[in-house]
Amino acid sequence: MIKENTTVVTEFVFTGLTHQPQWKIPLFLFFFVVYLMTVLGNFSLIGLIWKDPHLHIPMYLCLGNLAFVDTWLSSTVTPNMLLNLLDKNKLISFPACLIQFFSFAVSVTTECFILAVMAYDRYVAICKPLLYPVIMTNKLCMQLLVLSYFGGLAHAVIHESFLFRLVFCKSNIIYHIFCDAIPLLKISCTDPSLNYLIIFIFSGSIQVFTIMTIFISYTFIVFTILTTKSEKGMRKAFSTCGAHLLSVSLYYGPLLFMYVHPASSQADDQEMILSLFYTVIVPVLNPIIYSLRNKQVIHSVKKILKRNI
């Protein structure tokens, strides 16, 4: 599958997770179950929020959009990965690779912005409870969510346009599970320095901005909670924010390692596992994290179940 140096590569081969044949079937079954749980869990959460009028408030509008983007992100990576585990060729054309990367870039960036919007929503709700209905209206929430999607789209367009300048002629083997920018840069015949700079500037800026928004929001939240004398109020605030902080930690940890640390000469197993974590594992965990820690969601589930019994 290696092309001659004078030949321009038009298709790629994924070798991630496939170098040990004895693990193909167990891995396929595991990730197939995970993907089914991701789709079922996130769409169930979206359906619950859609059906219950009491959940038509900013906090749950953000949660519903997070569930949608999680499903989008997982669907960009997992189905193709499952096919590659069983397919002997494991080929993907260059146009299909660019489409997969574009979908990945939009969804992963949009999720960063949505997590920041959710942090701001919790800040207003806990630090300015009397002004919350005035400040964080459904209209403002929808505007922030639309901006999140627009930001994800703009970010993807920037990186996609710079990928078109690359020429691949040395190798078409990608030691990864999907078409991400960094694995592609590592096998390019074109000098990728400009692409690395663009990734560092734009991806780094977005991560710094969203992380700082989350950090500042929760710094104010913690101070507000600590000055609250009501033990019940403290428990409720910590319970509400705990799920979001856990989700943020699981999501941003691998992202920071992948896109902020200096790129190595070739993709390794550690980078691939980190990619698996935030593209496949986190999307299946989020509906569980938010549902189990949210009394309103549990109450809505019980109410719907009673109606259908």
Q: Considering the chain, what percentage of its residues have pLDDT values greater than 90?
A: 45
Total domains, the chain: 1
Residue with tokens 């940890």: 253
Distance CA 265, CA 131 (A): 52
Phi, psi of 242 (to 5 degrees): -60, -40
Q: Strand, coil or helix: what is 12?
A: strand
Distance CA 255, CA 258 (A): 5
- Give me the pLDDT at residue 182, please: 87
Q: How large is the average pLDDT for residues 132-154? A: 96
Domain assignment present for residue 1? The answer is: no
Domain assignment present for residue 2? The answer is: no
Q: Strand, coil or helix: what is 285?
A: helix
Give pTM, 2 decimals: 0.89
151 membership: H or E segment, kind and range: helix 138-163
Domain assignment present for residue 3? The answer is: no
Q: Which domain holds residue 78?
A: 11-308
Domain assignment present for residue 288? The answer is: yes
Domain assignment present for residue 4? The answer is: no
- For the stretch 51-62, pLDDT in tens is 888 889 999 999
Tell me the two tokens of residue 105: 């870039």
Domain assignment present for residue 199? The answer is: yes
Q: At what angle do helices 58-86 and 94-127 cross, to 10 degrees?
A: 150
Domain assignment present for residue 179? The answer is: yes
Distance CA 134, CA 111 (A): 25
Of 65-79, 164-178, 208-222, 271-285, which one has max mean pLDDT?
A: 65-79
CATH number at residue 247: 1.20.1070.10
Q: What is the pLDDT of the chain when averaged over all its residues?
A: 85
Domain assignment present for residue 5? The answer is: no
